[in-house]
Copies of this chain bind each other. A is one copy, B any other.
Amino acid sequence: MKLEYNPRYPSVESLRRKAKKRIPRFAFDYLDGGCNEEVNLQKNTSEIREIELLPQYLKKHSYSDLKTQLFGHIYNSPFGIAPIGLQGLIWPNSPEILAKGAFNHNIPFILSTVSTSTIERVSEITEGQAWFQLYHPAENSLRDQIIKRASQHCPVLVILTDVPTFGYRNKEIKNGLAMPPRMTLHNVLQILGKPNWALKTLINGQPSFKILQPYMQKGMNMHHLGLFMNEAFNGRLDEDKISAIREMWKGKLVLKGIVNEIDVQKSIQIGIDGIIVSNHGGRQLDAGQSSIHSLINIVEKYKGKIKIMVDSGLRSGTDIARTLAVGAEFAFLGRTFMYGTAALGEEGADHTIRILQRQLKQVMDQLCCEKIEDLPKCLIK
Report B-chain residues with C-beta under 8 Å of the C-beta of A2: 179, 230
Q: Let me know if A368 and B36 touch, CB within 8 A.
A: no
- CB proximity of A364 to chain B, nearest CB, Å: 9
Report B-chain residues with C-beta under 8 Å of the C-beta of A51: 287
Report B-chain residues with C-beta under 8 Å of the C-beta of A284: 55, 366
What 1/0 flags go to A147-179 for Cβ under 8 Å of B?
A: 000000000000001101111101001101011
Q: Let me know if B263 and A178 touch, CB within 8 A.
A: no
Interface bracket on A: 35 or more
A285 within 8 A of B: yes
- Given contacts A168-B359, A318-B37, whether A257 and B57 have CB atoms under 8 Å apart is yes
Q: Among B1, B239, B321, point to the contact of A58 (Cβ < 8 A).
A: B239
Q: Among B8, B54, B236, point to the contact of A259 (Cβ < 8 A).
A: B54
Q: Let me know if B176 and A58 touch, CB within 8 A.
A: no
Nearest chain-B residue to A175 (Cβ)? B7
**Stretch with Cβ within 8 A of B (4 or more), from A9-17, A19-27, A137-145, A327-335:** A9-17
A118 within 8 A of B: no
CA distance A164 to B358 in the complex (A): 14
- CB proximity of A277 to chain B, nearest CB, Å: 12
Q: Let me know if B161 and A57 touch, CB within 8 A.
A: yes
Report B-chain residues with C-beta under 8 Å of the C-beta of A58: 161, 237-239, 242, 255, 258, 262-263, 266-267
CA distance A289 to B289 in the complex (A): 24
- CB proximity of A301 to chain B, nearest CB, Å: 14
CA distance A322 to B326 in the complex (A): 28
CB interface residues, A 281-303, toward B, < 8 Å: 284-289
Which 10 residue pairs of A and B lie closest in terms of their CB atoms, listed nearest first? A10-B173, A57-B161, A165-B365, A53-B287, A60-B238, A285-B366, A10-B170, A11-B170, A58-B263, A168-B362
A129 within 8 A of B: no
A202 within 8 A of B: no
Report B-chain residues with C-beta under 8 Å of the C-beta of A166: 1, 362
A380 within 8 A of B: yes
What 1/0 flags go to A232-259 for Cβ under 8 Å of B?
A: 0000111110100000000000010111
Report B-chain residues with C-beta under 8 Å of the C-beta of A259: 54-55
A316 within 8 A of B: yes
A97 within 8 A of B: no
- 14 example contacts (A-B, Cβ-Cβ < 8 A) are as follows A1-B165, A7-B174, A7-B176, A14-B170, A55-B259, A55-B288, A57-B260, A57-B263, A59-B239, A60-B238, A61-B238, A166-B362, A286-B316, A286-B318
Q: Let me know if A178 and B53 touch, CB within 8 A.
A: no
Report B-chain residues with C-beta under 8 Å of the C-beta of A198: none
Report B-chain residues with C-beta under 8 Å of the C-beta of A289: 52, 54, 380
Q: Let me know if B52 and A173 touch, CB within 8 A.
A: no
A363 within 8 A of B: yes
- CB proximity of A18 to chain B, nearest CB, Å: 12
A39 within 8 A of B: yes
Task: A1-B173, A287-B363 are known; give 17 further A-B pairs, CB within 8 A.
Answer: A10-B168, A10-B170, A11-B36, A11-B170, A13-B37, A39-B318, A55-B284, A57-B237, A57-B257, A57-B258, A60-B238, A60-B240, A61-B238, A164-B365, A165-B365, A168-B358, A289-B380
- Given contacts A236-B57, A260-B57, whether A368 and B164 have CB atoms under 8 Å apart is yes
Report B-chain residues with C-beta under 8 Å of the C-beta of A170: 10-11, 14
